[in-house]
Structure 1
Amino acid sequence: MLAIRLVVDPTGIDALALPVRPVEGAVVGEPSAEVVSTALAVSADLLSEAAALLPEVDHTGASGVSHRSIRPLGSPSRLLLIGVGAGEEADWRAAGAAIARTGVRESSITLAMSADASPAAVRGVAEGLWLASYRFRMPDQPAAAEDDAPTLGEVLLAVADPERYEAALATAQATAEATRFARDLTNMPSSVKSPQWFAEQVAAAAAGHDGLTVRVREPEQLAAEGFGGILAVGGGSARGPRLVELTWQPADAQTHVVLVGKGITFDTGGISIKPRDAMKLMRKDMGGAAAVIAATIGAAALRLPVRVTALAPLAENMLSGSAFRPGDVVRHYGGLTSETTNSDAEGRLVLADAMAYAVEQLAPDLLIDLATLTGANAVALGKRTGALYSDSDELADAMLASIREAGESAWRMPLPTDYVEYLGSELADFYSTPTQGAGSVLAALYLREFAGKLRDRWLHIDMSAPSWAEADSAELTKGATGWGVRTLLRWLATSPTAG
């Protein structure tokens, strides 16, 4: 991972990045951007050169706008002008991402932070740098393939008082590492990524942190304990399902939060088989499980004072003679039953088991689930925004605030009571997939039934669309985004209470 260090007076600078902001009240015909006053002493000649260059390259100073200038006879020999907009954390995050891409061929870049930079600015720029410089590598990929790709090796953040920013940088690193772990899990091809493989990765990652414990239930244990939804979805695959339970339990915790994430390691749709184009990216259908596992590991790395249990119900939804059928009745953990009207709506079946188990056996204060659940999420909100559901205004508002601070996006959706009747089945307690439309809303209403006595302290995020990026954009790289990890860590850091 890219090295980032805080320094006061760097020497031998070959590549210097200067922050640029819009000129307040600029008028037509006058410069619209200016170099920000920095903690690093920059020569008057270089500042004059930068000021003259800004209008020539139409630099606006908007966050993430960048320009790289070559100075063959100068020192430094490369100058990067990086827009930081209004100087908020999100602006610096975009600036960090721009540096990671504009300076990809540099071995080292010194970024002169603004003289009045807050710790949040350092956190933002560091997260942007680490996340935008992420590249997925297969475990068996030859080293030469990685060596041939240009990569930025080091960024020095020039500040007046490094100690002031150390905690912010450490938080950014733990957050970025957790997000990158979630991206690695989600990007991994499903030929490798069986439920067993996923469980092994969690155990290996947890071993590096004090205070984390892992329990993995295999098919026999799932059957003995009554996890009928997980077993039904995983029954068509030769690679059996698992339930991973990862716990962070600090001694000073006052609140217990359970995070549940959908973990379908590949989704063919089962007997309700998907068309080819809809199946190609179904390795991402465990993005929710990756997010909650990574966030829990991040909570341990940050020593957050809240007890967190992550539940990852893992299954491969395959088509075979032992696959569950549309019309089957599944008995979930705790006894509630579902008539499975569509085997391509399998994620809610495994989530239902895990949520019912959490309520009955773990008795948390708050229950949160994340899932790449429905295509309706993208239809309603587009490719970058998740759908958030909760009966608790307090919980929803707190999570939405964390989503905004993290630089992610979600929109609160309704849970209309008059739609609950659509869940009714003549054969079971519920239809798993009602046919009246409003796919994301009805999926949320179905899941709420398994929150039981915690329904007023439950929150669901359908994050199918923003879990994957079709192209590099700001701190996102093409492929898995690790959506939700940054949000959950922000939210957990507030020491959430049951209200």
Structure 2
Amino acid sequence: MPRSASARVRTPGSRASKALPREPVVPQVTVAATPLVDAAAPVLALPVAPADGGGGSPRPGPGTREVEHAFGVSVADEIALAKAKGEPGEVVELPVSDEGRAAEVLFLVGVGDGSDLALRRAGAALARRARARGAVATTVASDAPPTGLRAFVEGLVAAAYRQPRSGLAPEGDGLHEVSLVLPATRRARAEEALGRAVETGRALCRARDLANTPADVAGPVELAAEAARLASVTGLEARVWDEAQLAEGGFGGVLAVGAGSARPPRLVQLSYEPDEGGEPGRRGGRRTPHVVLVGKGIAFDSGGLSLKPREAMVPMKTDMAGGGVVLAVMAALRGLGVRARVTGLVPFAENMIGGASYRPGDVITQYGGTTVEVLNTDAEGRLVLADAMAYADRELAPDVIVDVATLTGAASLGLGRRHGALYATDDALADALLEAGDSSGERLWRMPLEQDYRAALDSPVADIAHVSRDKHVGAGSITAALFLQEFTGGRRWAHLDVAGPARADADEHDVTKGGTGFGTRLLLRWLEGVR
């Protein structure tokens, strides 16, 4: 077996003047012990719900009377003047002043039907409007159940995110402090939901930071080093294979994809054991479920010899978004008290053009011996994932494997930019992931593993072709999933093709432009429920 190589993280291509992102910057969110009007924040925010079904006016929520008394305003009149409806994410801004108070502006924030989705959007809208003022105190989620409070804070933290910058230009101000004003009877119960929301939000921001870092800074070696660093600060075990150890171990897919780059590939394994004591892998005399997460870690994707057009290449620093999600999820497990054993596997490689690049028509041997006919070097993600999944099956004996990858343009053509494609070999697993997607705001749509299409991957020269040989089949996302299924060993498995929602061209609700971190919240929500 390959020995540990976590210390081997330097490469001649590294740039000493640049570095991977610092720890994610997220607002400090606390439960306030003072009334809303006495908060030391320039922004106060009240919730506004739509009119009752029978008609009438939108209804301002907790804190309204004290705000009206302190500042001499009529919130109902301001709502009517702005023609506000209380829809989720709607914000009315009202300047206020009182020499004895810190508040400068009042936001009236629509909360819609008070659902988790509506509150997540309300939190996102508040964060965007309050960003330039630095701090906010609010009663927006004071009546919400713990799930609603968590959704509100997750939306707020997500929308407050700012991409890391380099150079001399200042980063500008950001939202750094949020005070949640809650009734005294609800504060203790809210603390757990708040803690989980902030931990999840921090993980989301970490995944975004990794995806948004330029590829000249975040190559395979640097990303492997970051994984080892995260392990050291979050209580994980780390193992990193260098290129020589990958060759010794038979990881032909990772090596082939990375062969054309001056920066060598790496394979990262992070291992988490829950804080339960006793024998590793067992809890209370019962075997602990073992989950393996696999993330696509293509640091940059030029397409290789099957070269991408320039426009398609520009966002390809985010082609390691799935790998970034896995690293971010692994780093958050202990903070969330996840009770399952979890192993994260991320194969990092850069798909470039060089004298050693792999070619269309090559036959490569994946980990475990399966031979693969290469037909398109721009379908590289499934080759590195296949190595990691075959290794997981043969060496780690997991109960379930879940991979997450920006795998196919076909998935985004079919589902757009708001849903990830879900493939699964087990209905209960699929249902659990769908539920986690709905509750976390990262929605999935289940797709069929249509076995009638498997024949399109038959190869005359290898065990399997990695893309369809039959132009009449189409279904590129499905055939990619069918290829990956060959390397699961028949274990319970789910595949998340997130090529659409992993990137955004503009801010929308809790999504920010660039790498979105899609999959982080839903995987954490799912893992919190695995027993």
1:59, 1:65 within 8 Å by CA — same for their partners in 2?
A: yes
| Counterparts of 2:151 and 2:407, CA distance in 1 | 30
Look up the match of 1:361. 395
Match of 2:483 in 1: 446
Are residue 333 (structure 1) and residue 367 (structure 2) matched? yes
Q: Secondary structure at the match of 1:214?
A: strand
TM-score of the pair, normalised by structure 2: 0.88
In structure 2, C-alpha distance between the alignment counterparts of 1:490 and 1:73, rounded to whole Å? 43
Question: In the aligned structure 1, how far is the partner of 2:480 from the partner of 2:444?
Answer: 17
2:434 to 381, 400, 411: 400
Describe the superposition over 1:248-282 as per-residue Cα deviations: whole angstroms up to 9, x where unpaired.
11254510000001110001111111111111111
Alpha-carbon distance in structure 1 between the residues aligned to 2:66 and 2:73: 14
Distance 1:39 1:311 in 2: 50
The whole-number CA distance in structure 2 between the counterparts of 1:40 and 1:329 is 73
Alignment-derived partner of residue 421 in structure 2? 387
Q: Residues 473 and 406 from structure 1, CA distance in 2 versus in 1: closer, same or farther, beyond 3 angstroms? A: same
Question: Bigger shift: 122-131 or 366-375?
Answer: 122-131
Give the direction of change, closer, same or farther, for the CA distance of 1:376–1:104 in structure 2 (3 Å limit).
same
1:39 Cα shift?
9.9
Q: Which residue of 1 is the match for residue 384 of structure 2?
A: 350
AA in 2 matched with 1:249: E
**Equivalent residue for 1:188?**
213
Q: Distance in 2 between matches of 1:96 and 1:115?
A: 12
CA drift at 1:241: 0.5
Task: Determine the C-alpha separation between the residues in 1 that align with 2:72 and 2:59.
Answer: 10
- Report the Cα distance in structure 1 between the residues aligned to 2:500 and 2:79, rounded to whole angstroms: 37
| 426-435 vs 75-84, which moves further | 75-84
| Residue 434 to residue 244, structure 1, CA distance change in 2 (3 Å) | same
Aligned counterpart, 1:82: 109
Letter in 2 for 1:157: L
- Change beyond 3 A, Cα 1:484–1:47: farther
CA distance in 1, matches of 2:223, 2:435: 31
Distance apart, 1:170 and its partner CA:
0.9
Corresponding residue of 1:227: 251
Q: Answer yes or no: is the 8 Å Cα contact 1:8–1:160 preserved in 2.
A: no
1:114–1:395 Cα change, 3 Å: closer
1:112 aligns with 2:131: no
Separation (CA, whole Å) in 2 of partners of 1:122 and 1:158: 11
C-alpha displacement of 1:42: 4.4
Give the Cα–Cα distance (whole angstroms) in 2 for the partners of residues 443 and 73 of structure 1: 62
The reply to whether residue 129 of structure 1 matches residue 156 of structure 2 is yes
SS in structure 2 of the partner of residue 279 of structure 1: helix
Change (3 A) 1:72 1:285: same
Residues 1:240 and 2:284 aligned together = no
114 and 304 in structure 1: CA distance in 2 versus 1, 3 angstrom threshold: closer
Q: Displacement of 1:105 after TM fit? A: 2.4
Partner of 2:10: none
Letter in 2 for 1:183: R
Deviation at 1:154, TM superposition (A): 1.5
Question: In 1, distance between residues paired with 2:207 and 2:43?
Answer: 32
Q: 2:94 aligns with which of 69, 77, 81?
A: 69
Q: Which runs of 5+ in 2 are unaligned?
A: 1-25, 277-282
Amino acid at match of 2:154: E
Task: Say what the alpha-carbon RMSD is for the aligned residues.
Answer: 1.8
Partners of 2:275 and 2:337 within 8 A in 1: no
Specify the SS of the correspondent of 2:303.
coil
Structure 1 residue 171 displacement after superposition: 0.6
| Structure 1 letter corresponding to 2:459 | S
Give the structure 1 partner of residue 20 of structure 2. Answer: none
Name the SS for the 1:472 alignment partner.
Answer: coil
Could you say which residue in structure 2 is the equivalent of 1:49? Answer: 74
Overall identity of the aligned pairs, in %: 44
SS at match of 2:119: helix
SS at match of 1:103: helix
How far residue 163 of structure 1 moved from its aligned partner, in angstroms, is: 1.6
Q: 1:84–1:95: 8 Å Cα contact kept in structure 2? A: yes
- The equivalences for 1:84-233 within 5 A come to 84-113=111-140, 115-138=142-165, 140-142=166-168, 145-146=170-171, 149-161=172-184, 162-210=187-235, 212-233=236-257
Alpha-carbon offset, residue 492 of structure 1: 0.2
SS of structure 1 residue aligned to 2:490: helix
Q: 1:309 aligns with which of 343, 351, 362?
A: 343
